[in-house]
Chains A and B, each alone.
Chain A
């Protein structure tokens, strides 16, 4: 892997020298299975662009991905979302709130053999489809759950 190039890319994206140093130091200590931050995907303003930046093609709908989120979230600032993937060899789980200004909310790289379950809390601007994108064995799988939001949390 060409680390120098990646570090340069990170330097270009970060504001201060301090942040750059931290980012550079961080890259060196990462395990091989953990992908570097895909800034383009996180900055994407449309779901399709985010998926494209991730490189997710031929995405298959899967019932083996379970998204645990409320049907109705009263407070959009704190929406609990948990994703479990029962697909063998799950490498990463990404969570996208489709109508958020930046849909890709988080991406979790999972160590080989580790439990493919993550739980967190998201800010959701408005009623949206919550999409989980799972990478397993080099292929992409997805599942969607709608979350109705009473009061948006992107203010």
Chain B
């Protein structure tokens, strides 16, 4: 099982600044372990971000994204309490969804 994502959504005016940190090894499939065997590729292929159930971003990723990937985006027309949900799917069929409410900004 994968670890939960860390998602922060903070309101700035009517735009929510969303920062997502996913926990994933993001193996490229080119790295070798101590025994000299190739470590199989294991990376997030697809990330979908929704705002109150409506998809705002659909990202296709590769092994070139860093380990424990970060994704930042801005969601227009957001209000405090709106639901931001993030789902990722990796190349081994594992997936995870986490959700946060938009926090009122300062």
Contact = CB atoms under 8 A, between A and B. Distances in A.
A105 interface: yes
Q: Which DSSP category, helix, strand, loop or mixed, fits chain B's interface?
A: strand
A111 interface: yes
Interface residues of B, number: 34
Given A37-B45, A77-B67, A109-B57, A104 B62 contact: yes
Interface of A: 14-16, 18-19, 21-22, 26, 30-31, 34, 37-38, 42, 77-80, 82, 97, 100-102, 104-111, 113-115, 117-124, 153-155
B2 interface: no
Given A19-B92, A120-B69, A37 B46 contact: yes
A71 to B, nearest CB: 18
A123 B55 contact: no
Contacts of A118: 57, 59, 71-73
B74 interface: yes
A94 to B, nearest CB: 9
A110 B57 contact: yes
B92 A107 contact: no
Given A42-B60, A115-B73, A115-B76, A155 B65 contact: no
B95 to A, nearest CB: 7
Contact of A121 (B30, B45, B65): B65
B36 interface: no
30 contacts: A15-B91, A16-B92, A22-B89, A22-B95, A31-B58, A34-B55, A38-B60, A77-B66, A80-B70, A97-B64, A100-B64, A101-B30, A102-B62, A105-B64, A106-B59, A106-B64, A107-B60, A108-B59, A110-B57, A111-B58, A114-B56, A114-B57, A115-B74, A117-B72, A117-B73, A120-B70, A121-B69, A123-B63, A123-B64, A155-B31
